Amino acid sequence: MSEAADAATTDPSGERAVLRTDGVTKRFGGLTAVDDVDVEVSEGEIVGLIGPNGAGKSTLFNCITGTLDADEGHVYLRDEEVTDWPEYKIARAGLGRMFQETRIFGDMTVRKNLLLAAQEGGDDVSSLLRRPDDSLVGRADELLAYVDLDGLADVRAGRLSFGQQKLIEFSMALMADPEILLMDEPAGGINPSMIGNLIEYIRTANVDEEATIFLIEHNMDFVMEIADRIYVLAHGERIAEGTPEEIQNDQRVLDAYLGRE
């Protein structure tokens, strides 16, 4: 194992790092959208990524998932450097992603959506046509029960509310048993009355499913409540890292949100 790969597996506290970026930089023409950013997410953590509009959060996520190629820097998933890997290969290696807008098939039942999500990572297309085995169906129903939607397994997914569809997406992401799940504004567009439930569901998945989660979020109450640690970006740079309490009291963070340089 190379020194770099070795360093990717263990952080200074001895926790196992599931994801690590080292000096990731992404430019769009003359604009440096992500500037030399290091982040690390350890097994079992829920880590938040915040920052004002245009700070570079989505761009960093896209460099991690392989949607964009970083201009500089390295991305490690567990022991493996995945920097130049194509997106599908990074996904197969265990990086799950949940988007802001939902990507479910509205004409299919909720359960079928989950079964498809499990098979997406499969090696051959024919797996999509085969009858899913019972264990997969059981798993789908189990994950739907987590988000209190087991009663809707046979309903067409398109008939559900946006908030319910987001919960289905969350279950779909867990079907693939990801090493780490990147969530892009999970609370975005969700009815405020459901936010408490969402926090509960993500926490349950974190504890019961040992799901490691890295999430972008604009809803401060949500992220402060759910995250173990938070990274803050501004103008592409990482300006702070710490517990929610530390971040809330960090003058650089307050200044960045107020638009002070």
- 8 Å CB contact between 9 and 78: yes
The count of residues in the chain is 261
Closest contact distance (angstroms) between CB of 234 and ligand ATP is: 9
The binder of ligand ATP chosen from 45, 46, 57, 78 (CB under 6 A): 57
What is the nearest approach in angstroms of ligand ATP to the Cβ of residue 32?
9
> Rounded to an integer, what is the distance from CA 7 to the centroid of its chain?
22
CB of 219 to ligand ATP, least distance (A): 12
Please identify, using beta-carbon distances, which residue of 98 and 110 lies nearer to ligand ATP.
Answer: 98
Q: How far apart are CA 43 and CA 20, in angstroms?
A: 11
Among 18, 55, 115, 157, binds ligand ATP (CB under 6 A): 55
Is the Cβ of residue 177 or residue 250 nearer to ligand ATP in the bound state? 250
By CB under 6 A, residue 54 contacts ligand ATP: yes
Q: Decide if residue 28 touches ligand ATP (CB under 6 A).
A: yes
> Could you say whether residue 59 binds ligand ATP (CB under 6 A)?
yes
Which residue(s) pair with 10 in the sheet?
16
Q: Do the strands 95-98 and 180-184 form a parallel or antiparallel pair, or are they unpaired?
A: parallel
Q: Is 66 helix (H, G, I), strand (E, B) or coil?
A: coil
The CA–CA distances, whole Å, from 193 to 46, 143, 150 equal: 22, 22, 20
Q: What residues line the site for ligand ATP (CB under 6 A)?
A: 28, 31, 33, 51, 53-59
